[in-house]
Amino acid sequence: MAQLFVISAPSGTGKTSLIQKVLDEGLASKAKLGVSCTTREKRKNEEEGVAYFFVNEAEFNKKIDEGNFLEYAKVFGNLYGTPRDWVESTISQGFDVILELDVQGAIQVKNTYPDAKTIFIIPPSYEDLRNRLDNRGQDSEKTIEKRLSEAKEEVLSGKDFDYLLTNDDFDLAFMDLKYAMYSNSDINKEREAFTRKCLSHLLDQ
């Protein structure tokens, strides 16, 4: 039975690299990564139709009116939506689907598909997240501050997802993600306790 996975994380937590590894390892030979529509500007290294279809706001609103989205949300001032037809047809062809969404989108998908597995990735601490955002060199100080305060909001929503894992170390986090997605056995107890500790630290700040 094909499965639907929804993976969210605060910006800079490393979810895209972790998901890419799931796809590269052939772990998910049966899985396809969703391609969203967005009104955000295309970045230099991006190609139309790979991670996103780039549309203007009028086109996006038309798709909303026509009921084309399984979910949509405004994230960092831009609109993002998941094409409903693509998800439904991919699942009915027997492929697992991985959606990389913000927390608002993940909650909407879970409401429509209660069997979807929602996975939330946390940073080990906000200091670590700040270092990653600094090292990425993509954002201004003002944007980094904004992303950090949004991260706090996201952690509040993401803490109730089906699976929580921490990206403190890429290989360990990848193992946890594999467990969350494809193992029927429990996630490593030690890692689970570590994630609980990190979460409680994040919630205290």
Task: Note whether 166 binds ligand 5GP by CB under 6 A.
Answer: no
With tokens 């056995």, the residue in question is 185
**Nearest approach, Cβ of 119 to ligand 5GP (angstroms)?**
12
With tokens 């991670």, the residue in question is 51
Task: Note whether 73 binds ligand 5GP by CB under 6 A.
Answer: yes
- Single out the residue of 105, 123, 124, 158 in contact with ligand 5GP (rule: CB under 6 A): 105
Task: Note whether 82 binds ligand 5GP by CB under 6 A.
Answer: yes
> Strands, E, within the chain: which ranges?
4-8, 31-33, 36-38, 52-54, 69-75, 78-83, 96-100, 117-122, 163-166
- Whichever of 80 and 174 has its CB closer to ligand 5GP, that residue is 80
Q: Are 187 and 140 contacting, i.e. CB atoms less than 8 angstroms apart?
A: no
Q: Are 129 and 10 contacting, i.e. CB atoms less than 8 angstroms apart?
A: yes
Spell out the residues 6+ positions from residue 40 whose beta carbon is closer than 8 angstroms to its own.
Answer: 52, 54, 76, 78, 80
**Nearest approach, Cβ of 198 to ligand 5GP (angstroms)?**
19
Which residue of this chain has its Cβ atom nearest to ligand 5GP in the complex? Answer: 105
- Whichever of 96 and 100 has its CB closer to ligand 5GP, that residue is 100
Q: Are 97 and 32 contacting, i.e. CB atoms less than 8 angstroms apart?
A: yes
- Single out the residue of 81, 123, 124, 158 in contact with ligand 5GP (rule: CB under 6 A): 81
Q: Given the rule CB under 6 A, which residues bind ligand 5GP?
A: 11, 36, 40, 71, 73, 75, 80-82, 100-102, 104-105
